[in-house]
Structure 1
Amino acid sequence: MVAAVAAGLVVSSAADTGFATTAPDKAAVEHVVSDFADRAGYPGIAVAITKGDQVLYTGGYGHDSAGAAVTATTPMPVASVSKSFTALAVMQLAEAGKVTLDAPVRDYLPHFRIADPRGTRITVRELLNQTSGITDGTFPEKSLPQPATPAEAVTRARDATLAAEPGTKHYYTNTNYHLAARLVEVVSGEPFADYMRRHVFEPIGMRATITINQTPRDLPDTVRKGYVYAYGMSIPAAEPTRFVNGSDGVITTAEDMAKWLITQNNEGLAANGTRLVSAADVTAMHTSSDRRWTYGMGWDTDQRGRVHHNGIWFTYTSDQLLLPGGYGIAVIGNSGIGLGNEGVDALTDELATLVTGGEPQAGAPMRLIVDLILACLTLLSVLLGVRNLRRTRNWATRLATRPSWRLALRLAPRLVPLALLISLPDLLGRLVGGGRDISFVQLCYYSAPLVAWSAVATVMNIGVMTIRVVALVRGRRSAEAPPVPDGSTQLATR
């Protein structure tokens, strides 16, 4: 399936591709993207590359879940890249004197309450910096009932508590940006989507870009289902129901993302001459205000000093990267995250190497390797389970005289797979997701093979345990029952 996807990758038409005189080689870009799609299992990918105020390249590769070619004008969600847009909207209001970044959120959202009295001290800047103290651990926003609007998101947050004093630690959570979206609404007097369209998207020229409240309910018909990945197959799937506005609700195209990258690399000045925010505010958004963390306001900085932000849905992933030399790169892929694949960041890095004159190094197909390992573990669990079931009679005969407590201890480990299955969302969120919240349904999107292995191991072990207990009980009853006299004995006693 992966090979078939790679074979089907095609570059979009020349009308979808904009070049400047220093444009990267088209064939080289195609090779890098095709190779990544083959390894990572992405049916469709859109790319934008800029430098300074010039669009060097926009293009699409592969297909969407309806079979249509992905082009530079195909609308796709950019997930948490949306936070960069929300931060810019708040900065616009701050420049207009309507918001003070270091003022409490309560000054602008009088109805904002959380279940921790320290919440009254959370500032606007701390929302954007992800330092409010709210975490996915203190407020598991993905597992809770999903609001339909930013106003409902504020109401839902009343159950949140804090993991730290506001402003003292960095904890990434979507809730901070849900609250920021509502702040924009209240301060501007406009619905968040309308504000973004009138004051951010249209001034830049991003006329194909929108932002939505909830998935999949609010997705336009032009946005096709993305994909989940399992055992080398890409399977179309609707995004789970989630509230996303402010945090990861922007739907855009590669062409529009090129305009966004130019605005960021041009100190807040769009290619059409429109200024969105001041150069100082762009720098502030790109820069962490504290050495203890690297996150600024809607943007992060990596170890090489590059400014970036990725985006993750369960059916789409994205990344944006600003290089010190003035290059900007945006990538959107129509497949979700999973074990062995944390998005399209690796592709962005390869393209960054390409445009700066280096030779991109292809990695191993980790996504497929991980799923094949899980498939082997699933098969092994079945084989071991069948073997143990076939040995039940011998096992029961050999241990029939053992004390019940010792038998219980011997069988107890067979409950471990069940405990693992139940705790898997929390365990995976802590070990792999950095403490992020994930529901069981979303876990099935993230890694169906992992869930399948855990479920099969649970069923086989519970089955073995149940059959062995039944065999032991029957064996003991037979041993304790008085012998039934046969006919000859009865005649002899008459």
Structure 2
Amino acid sequence: MITVVMGSVVPVAPDPAFAWEGPDPAAIERVVTGFAGRAGYPGVAVAITKGGRVVHVAGYGHDSTGAPVTGTTPMPVASVGKSFTALAVMRLAEAGKVTLDAPVRDYLPGFRIADPRGARITVRQLLNQTSGLTDRTLAEKSLPQPASPADAVLRARRATLAAEPGTKHFYTNTNYHIAARLVEVVTGEPFSGHLRRHVFGPLGMRASTAIDLTPRDLPRGVAKGHVYAYGASIPATEPERFVGGSDGVITTAEDMARWLIVQGNGGRAADGTRLLSAGSVAAMHTSSDPRWTYGMGWDTDGGGRVRHNGVWFTYTASQLLLPSGYGIAVLGNSGIGLGNEGTDQLANELAALLTGGDPPSPAPARLVADLVLAGLTLVSLLLGVRNLRRARAWAERFAGRPAWRPAVRLLPRLVPLALAVSLPVLLGLLVGGGRDITRLQLGYYSVALVTWTTVAAVANAGVLVVRTAVLARLRRSAAAGRTAGASS
């Protein structure tokens, strides 16, 4: 077994009984580096397991300091962390300390929301995202960010429900913020400490930790991730966000290999340590209702595959379990953005390679999207300049016409401004499935989109103001001329 680090081959202690069952590391490297080049990822780390064995751990590229990414490079895995929170709760359920179908209030007496139906939300409904809470009933990114899981539960008191608990699936981080606090209250331990002692520790995940607030709590060894603009990856600090229980796990590819083994080996670690029963692992991996595909901290897709992705604005990650027994984890140091919904595409390409398929090589959608937006920005700027220069000629055409005629012609100039103002809401609805996003975070998501809408809004607003001013001046001059003529 080998690990590839920046093109060099480094031996790793193998299982004596292990025999390579998949493509060679060079084939994996071609897939990873091909994806990284197309999608704008300076650095990627990968872990692949089969049953109870690690078959490949590698780092490719570099981080924002220029240091090589390796299998031991610490990176956030974002919402992949939900599967860790779900496992912590499931362990409490197996120990008889929590009943999944009991109301959350049984364990969090202070939990209440601005909707009487909230009293019926169960622990299971938090984990399978069917509590009825949504980003639209509690704007978890736009509101002031809590500093701890306890504060997050207090913040949730202003929430309402979009549906009766247990009837619809709505993905929101708030459910897992509350679940993290439940773990704290039931165990009497801080959530991060509980994961360290009862999950990371037993699995030998010594490089892993969990944080509450970005960027405040990021460990010193975690380099800045990246945002993407016009073909360039730009180092950036993650904006302030509460991530406790929902997307706050920081780990490495090596540690994720240990995690994948537990998931693919019925809750048992490579050294035989049992973290959870096989039945509980299967329950986490399975949706409890055919109306949705989400289990508890894991999602399912066609062909019996189980997965969860994770997206920050500066990092993304994916984990994928295949029916063949392979587990795949991917950690990338570039964030979610227009034309890049994360590392799931790479996980799928690796899955195709591992199962004997031909990994696809799609177009560089991220670059194409930014180049199109760059073209639109240039066109908007040039049209704005041209229309400003022709403002007097335009005003002269409408100077003698009824006022409603130029007003009708000018009103469409407000559309780009309306688009720029409403873009966070529109993007959350159209692309994010109703997720919340702030205007600052929108800049992380797509510099090119924000630049185009801003330029278009300013250019059109400028044309509207200048044309209106010139038209008013011409009308006043004409009126003054008529008055003078009448007097003489």
Distance 2:7 2:177 in 1: 36
Distance 1:335 1:414 in 2: 36
Distance 2:8 2:400 in 1: 74
Offset at residue 406 of structure 1 (A): 2.5
> Does 1:291 pair with 2:287?
no
Equivalent residue number for residue 489 of structure 1: none
1:20-42 CA-partner distances (Å, limit 9, x unpaired): 42253011011001100110000
Which residue type is aligned with residue 33 of structure 2?
Answer: S
Offset at residue 304 of structure 1 (A): 2.1
Which residue type is aligned with residue 239 of structure 1?
Answer: E
User: What does 1:428-447 align with in structure 2 at a 5 Å threshold?
Assistant: 428-447=427-446
Distance 2:438 2:210 in 1: 24
Match of 2:6 among 10, 13, 16: 10
> Does 1:29 pair with 2:25?
no
Equivalent residue number for residue 474 of structure 1: 473
Distance 1:184 1:92 in 2: 10
For residues 483 and 122 of structure 1, do their structure 2 counterparts lie closer, same or farther at Cα, with a shift above 3 Å needed?
A: closer
Which residue type is aligned with residue 222 of structure 1?
Answer: G
1:313-360 CA-partner distances (Å, limit 9, x unpaired): 000000000000110000000000111110010100111111112221
Equivalent residue number for residue 463 of structure 1: 462
- SS at 1:304's partner residue? helix
- SS at 2:189's partner residue? coil
Equivalent residue number for residue 262 of structure 2: 263
1:213/1:243 contact within 8 Å kept: yes
1:12/1:72 contact within 8 Å kept: no
Which residue type is aligned with residue 81 of structure 1?
Answer: V
Equivalent residue number for residue 135 of structure 2: 136
1:18/1:58 contact within 8 Å kept: no
Distance 1:399 1:304 in 2: 64
1:17/1:59 contact within 8 Å kept: no
1:152-207 CA-partner distances (Å, limit 9, x unpaired): 00000001100000000000000000000000000001000110000000101101
1:53/1:266 contact within 8 Å kept: yes
Offset at residue 64 of structure 1 (A): 0.4
Equivalent residue number for residue 299 of structure 2: 300
Which residue type is aligned with residue 14 of structure 1?
Answer: V
Which aligned segments of 4 or more residues in structure 1 are displaced greater than 3 angstroms? 15-20, 482-485
For residues 331 and 74 of structure 1, do their structure 2 counterparts lie closer, same or farther at Cα, with a shift above 3 Å needed?
A: same
Offset at residue 401 of structure 1 (A): 1.1
Which residue type is aligned with residue 416 of structure 2?
Answer: P
Equivalent residue number for residue 369 of structure 1: 368
- SS at 2:113's partner residue? coil
Distance 1:345 1:261 in 2: 16
Equivalent residue number for residue 228 of structure 1: 227
Offset at residue 12 of structure 1 (A): 5.7
Offset at residue 402 of structure 1 (A): 1.6
Which residue type is aligned with residue 6 of structure 2?
Answer: V
2:398/2:405 contact within 8 Å kept: no
Distance 2:355 2:11 in 1: 25
Equivalent residue number for residue 280 of structure 1: 279
Offset at residue 100 of structure 1 (A): 0.3
1:135-156 CA-partner distances (Å, limit 9, x unpaired): 0111110111000000000000
1:245-266 CA-partner distances (Å, limit 9, x unpaired): 1000000000000000000000
Offset at residue 15 of structure 1 (A): 4.7
- TM-score calculated relative to the size of structure 2: 0.96
- Percent identity between the two aligned chains: 71
1:47/1:329 contact within 8 Å kept: yes
Offset at residue 478 of structure 1 (A): 1.4
- SS at 1:339's partner residue? coil
Distance 1:381 1:469 in 2: 20
Equivalent residue number for residue 192 of structure 1: 191
User: What does 1:63-212 align with in structure 2 at a 5 Å threshold?
Assistant: 63-212=62-211
- SS at 1:460's partner residue? helix
Distance 1:68 1:417 in 2: 42
For residues 92 and 262 of structure 1, do their structure 2 counterparts lie closer, same or farther at Cα, with a shift above 3 Å needed?
A: same
Which residue type is aligned with residue 135 of structure 2?
Answer: D
Equivalent residue number for residue 403 of structure 2: 404
Which residue type is aligned with residue 74 of structure 1?
Answer: T
- SS at 1:14's partner residue? strand
Distance 2:402 2:482 in 1: 24
Distance 1:100 1:11 in 2: 49
Offset at residue 11 of structure 1 (A): 3.4
Equivalent residue number for residue 6 of structure 1: none
User: What does 1:324-335 align with in structure 2 at a 5 Å threshold?
Assistant: 324-335=323-334
Equivalent residue number for residue 5 of structure 1: none
2:214/2:238 contact within 8 Å kept: yes
1:11/1:60 contact within 8 Å kept: no
Offset at residue 387 of structure 1 (A): 1.3
Equivalent residue number for residue 488 of structure 1: none
- SS at 2:294's partner residue? coil
Distance 1:358 1:17 in 2: 29
1:43/1:335 contact within 8 Å kept: yes
Offset at residue 383 of structure 1 (A): 1.1
Offset at residue 212 of structure 1 (A): 0.1
- SS at 1:481's partner residue? helix
1:232/1:368 contact within 8 Å kept: yes
Offset at residue 484 of structure 1 (A): 11
Offset at residue 17 of structure 1 (A): 8.4
- SS at 2:28's partner residue? helix
1:13-64 CA-partner distances (Å, limit 9, x unpaired): 5156868422530110110011001100000000000000110000100000
RMSD: 1.5
1:12/1:61 contact within 8 Å kept: no
In the alignment, structure 2 segments of 5+ residues that lack a partner are: none
- SS at 1:398's partner residue? helix
Distance 1:243 1:308 in 2: 23
- TM-score calculated relative to the size of structure 1: 0.95
- SS at 2:302's partner residue? coil
Distance 2:94 2:80 in 1: 22
Which residue type is aligned with residue 21 of structure 1?
Answer: A
- SS at 1:236's partner residue? strand
> Does 1:244 pair with 2:240?
no
Distance 1:38 1:63 in 2: 13
Offset at residue 107 of structure 1 (A): 0.4
Offset at residue 405 of structure 1 (A): 2.4
Distance 1:309 1:157 in 2: 25
2:227/2:314 contact within 8 Å kept: yes
